[in-house]
């Protein structure tokens, strides 16, 4: 990681949402020998588009291309500047850290959230971390710096966008039941929804393609499987 290849003072953080066990989860990194937890993030190369840098990072953490991605806020308070934490991380990794190391500078961070299919992800730590794992939103460890705030703002933005954007598409497998979809909405909104109203609403949007039934082996009526209609995908 050569200093001259990255724009100084500029970082990004990504809140990567997945859905599993009826819960929203996000990817969290744990740094070597420090007990420090953080959002996956990175830096922007001198000749690289900001969005491309974030996609590059996402690919490294998840193995996935073509991820649904939204930029939602840029955090630029001076209080973010906590060089001790970064120094701890670098030293715990055996780096000799000069006083003027570029990673100890003040950074502003452009924050993104991503929506991905939980099943398809292979969480992968980077050189400084020994784990990259899923955590439920209500069981997050204490996070570095203002990362807790970043997560909260990501969730708020996701909620605000829920009606305007096709959120379910990106968190589910291509085939899903109406109940699966409802669980996603409930996890995002943090509240129970009424089954019949939800079904009527979704069907009236005219974005779902109905397929064969899904026989679960349980003693009750089998639900239809659905996919999102091709033309509605972004």
Q: Note whether 37 and 144 are within 8 A (CB).
A: yes
Tell me which residues in 85-104 interact with a copy of itself (CB under 8 A): none
Instruction: For residue 74, state whether it binds a copy of itself (rule: CB under 8 A).
Output: yes
C-alpha span between 89 and 48 (Å, rounded): 26
Distances (CA, A) of 130 to 50, 93, 124, 126, 133: 26, 10, 9, 7, 10
Closest CA to 225 of 172, 164, 165: 172
Residue 119 binds which entry of DNA, a copy of itself, none, CB below 5-8 Å type-dependent: none
- Please state the closest distance from residue 162 (CB atom) to DNA, in A: 13
Instruction: For residue 234, state whether it binds a copy of itself (rule: CB under 8 A).
Output: no
Show the binding pattern over residues 161-200: x = contacts DNA (CB under 7 A), - = does not.
----------------xxx--------------xxxx-xx
Instruction: For residue 206, state whether it binds DNA (rule: CB under 7 A).
Output: no
Sign of the torsion formed by the C-alpha atoms of 198, 199, 204 and 206? positive
Q: What is the DSSP letter of 5?
A: G
Q: What is the DSSP letter of 143?
A: B
- Please state the closest distance from residue 110 (CB atom) to a copy of itself, in A: 5
C-alpha span between 228 and 68 (Å, rounded): 15
Closest to a copy of itself by CB, 31 vs 68, is 68
Closest CA to 224 of 207, 208, 204, 210: 210
C-alpha span between 202 and 168 (Å, rounded): 11
- Please state the closest distance from residue 195 (CB atom) to a copy of itself, in A: 27
- Please state the closest distance from residue 198 (CB atom) to DNA, in A: 8
Instruction: For residue 81, state whether it binds DNA (rule: CB under 7 A).
Output: no
Closest to a copy of itself by CB, 46 vs 127, is 46
Sign of the torsion formed by the C-alpha atoms of 39, 88, 146 and 183? positive
Instruction: For residue 106, state whether it binds a copy of itself (rule: CB under 8 A).
Output: yes
Sign of the torsion formed by the C-alpha atoms of 61, 133, 159 and 197? positive
Indicate which single residue of 5, 22, 33, 49 sits in contact with a copy of itself (rule: CB under 8 A).
49
Closest to DNA by CB, 71 vs 227, is 227
Site residues (vs DNA, CB under 7 A) = 177-179, 194-197, 199-201, 203-204, 213, 215-224
Site residues (vs a copy of itself, CB under 8 A) = 7-10, 44, 46-51, 71, 73-79, 106, 108, 110, 160, 164
């Amino acid at each position: 990681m050569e200093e001259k290849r990255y724009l100084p003072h500029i970082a990004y953080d990504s809140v990567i949402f997945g859905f599993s066990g009826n819960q929203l989860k996000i990817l969290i990194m744990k740094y070597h020998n420090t007990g420090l937890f953080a959002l996956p993030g990175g830096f922007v190369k001198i000749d690289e588009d900001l969005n491309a840098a974030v996609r590059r990072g996402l690919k490294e953490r998840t193995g996935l291309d073509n991820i649904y991605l939204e930029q939602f806020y840029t955090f630029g308070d001076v209080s973010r500047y906590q060089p001790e934490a970064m120094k701890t991380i670098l030293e715990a990794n055996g780096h000799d850290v000069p006083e003027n190391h570029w990673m100890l500078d003040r950074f502003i961070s452009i924050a993104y959230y991503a929506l991905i299919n939980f099943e398809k992800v292979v969480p992968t730590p980077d050189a400084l971390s020994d784990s990259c794992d899923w955590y439920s939103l209500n069981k997050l460890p204490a996070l570095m710096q203002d990362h807790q705030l970043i997560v909260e703002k990501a969730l708020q933005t996701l909620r605000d966008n829920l009606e305007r954007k096709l959120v379910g598409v990106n968190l589910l497998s291509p085939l899903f039941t109406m109940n699966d979809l409802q669980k996603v909405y409930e996890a995002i909104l943090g509240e129970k929804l009424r089954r019949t109203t939800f079904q009527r609403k979704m069907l009236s949007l005219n974005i779902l393609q109905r397929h064969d039934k899904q026989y679960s082996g349980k003693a009750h009526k089998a639900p239809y499987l659905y996919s999102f209609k091709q033309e509605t995908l972004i």
